[in-house]
């Protein structure tokens, strides 16, 4: 990510954090702009460019009340409704076919021996990501503020694999989801390391449409295991593919956004960004 883009993202992240902390007081444009040392005009323009909507509307999207509203509207069977209804337009995640192909037991045991893994770093609206792929599909996406540390985490997962820094077509197809260039999306395959239960949870996450939220209980009921909310939470926390497998769309039943492997602030920003883009696509 270019230096100016990093500065812009940090300013927007700081603004979101301030709004999130003070949403009950409904801070105005001038107040938030002052916190990030920008003029109201410049801040409004930068924020709208980044989020696709005004700071005022974004405040509504990222607030806990927005999450509660989404839950209330679908309280009978939110997850089933999301699966059946989806959202119209090119932003609909149902238009993206993702095939999960779990790694073999042998690939588990030998730490990725005989696997050739390509990796690269890319900029997104939420910071740098490290994306990695095998010949079968995407095996890893993670937000990477520290590129060296992020690569070490990837290597620890597959210590015996052969690594090459190169951006391949598999990675490019996956990265299009950040730019919303849906016309260039081809079939995306995932080559993931996980237990049978984890793979089922991750597959369920892929069925939550963009702009919708689900709870841990919704997913456990969808898997016909209503008492497994804690296990579902653990599987979500182990998700190795950021954003593409949308674990950020799962919140607590109380409407609280909750934790996120790559930071609760980033999770809140993604939820608001998706809601803003979905509204603009149907308006």
What the block records as the tokens of 142 is 């993670």
Instruction: Give mean pLDDT, residues 146-152.
Output: 95
| More confident: 90 or 255 | 255
Give the rounded percent of residues in the chain with a pLDDT score beyond 90.
37
Same domain for 167 and 125:
yes
Please check whether residues 57 and 73 belong to one and the same domain. Answer: no
Question: Which of 12, 40, 61 is the last residue before a domain boundary?
Answer: 61
CATH number for the domain that contains residue 37: 1.10.10.60
The reply to whether 122 and 50 lie within a common domain is: no
Q: Which of 4-8, 65-69, 141-145, 225-229 has the highest mean pLDDT?
A: 141-145
37 and 72 co-located in one domain: no
Q: ∠ CA 222-227-230 to the nearest 5 degrees?
A: 95
- Do 34 and 84 fall into the same domain? no
State the total domains in the chain.
2
Q: Which pLDDT score is estimated for 96?
A: 57
Active site (catalytic) residues: 247
Range of the domain at 180: 68-282
171, 138 in Cβ contact below 8 A?
A: yes
Contact between 96 and 195 under an 8 Å Cβ cutoff? The reply is no
Residue located via tokens 């369920």: 204
* Mean pLDDT over the full length of the chain: 83
Residue 44's pLDDT is 93
Q: Which two tokens stand for residue 76?
A: 């009978």
Residue 87 has a pLDDT of 37
12 and 110 in a common domain: no
Q: Same domain for 10 and 81?
A: no
End-of-domain residue from the set 61, 84, 108: 61
Residue 166, token pair as written in the block? 């190169």
State pLDDT tens for residues 163-188: 999 999 999 989 988 876 666 666 78
What is the rounded CA–CA span in Å between residue 221 and residue 80? 10
Assess whether 183 and 211 both reside in one domain: yes
By residue count, the chain amounts to: 283
Inter-residue contact 99 to 187 (CB < 8 Å): yes
- Say yes or no: 173 and 238 in one domain: yes
Farthest-apart Cα atoms in the chain, separation: 58
Instruction: Indicate the pTM of the whole model.
Output: 0.82
pLDDT for the residue numbered 90: 39
Task: Tally the C-alpha atoms within 13 A of residue 60's C-alpha that lie toward its C-beta.
Answer: 9
Give the domain CATH number at 173: 1.10.10.10
């Amino acid at each position: 990510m270019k230096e100016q883009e990093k500065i812009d993202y940090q300013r927007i992240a700081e603004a979101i954090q301030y709004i999130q902390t003070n949403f009950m007081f409904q801070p105005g444009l001038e107040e938030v702009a002052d916190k990030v040392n920008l003029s109201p005009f410049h801040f409004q323009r930068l924020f709208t460019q980044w989020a696709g909507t005004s700071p005022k509307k974004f405040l509504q999207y990222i607030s806990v009340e927005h999450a509660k509203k989404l839950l209330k509207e679908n309280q009978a069977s939110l997850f089933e409704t999301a699966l059946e209804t989806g959202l119209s337009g090119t932003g609909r995640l149902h238009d993206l076919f993702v095939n999960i192909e779990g790694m073999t037991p042998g690939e588990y045991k030998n730490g990725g021996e005989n696997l050739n893994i390509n990796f690269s770093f890319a900029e997104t609206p939420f910071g740098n990501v490290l994306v990695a792929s095998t010949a079968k599909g995407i095996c890893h996406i993670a937000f990477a503020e520290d590129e060296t540390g992020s690569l070490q985490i990837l290597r620890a997962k597959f210590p015996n694999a052969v690594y090459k820094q190169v951006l391949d077509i598999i990675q490019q197809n996956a990265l299009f989801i950040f730019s919303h260039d849906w016309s260039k999306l081809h079939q995306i395959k995932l080559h993931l390391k996980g237990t049978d239960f984890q793979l089922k949870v991750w597959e369920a996450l892929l069925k939550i449409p963009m702009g919708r939220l689900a709870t841990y209980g919704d997913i456990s009921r969808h898997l016909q295991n209503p008492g497994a909310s804690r296990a579902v939470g653990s599987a979500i926390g182990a998700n190795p593919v950021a954003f593409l497998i949308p674990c950020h769309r799962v919140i607590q039943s109380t409407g609280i956004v909750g934790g996120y492997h790559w930071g609760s602030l980033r999770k809140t920003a993604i939820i608001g960004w998706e809601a803003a883009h979905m509204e603009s696509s149907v308006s």
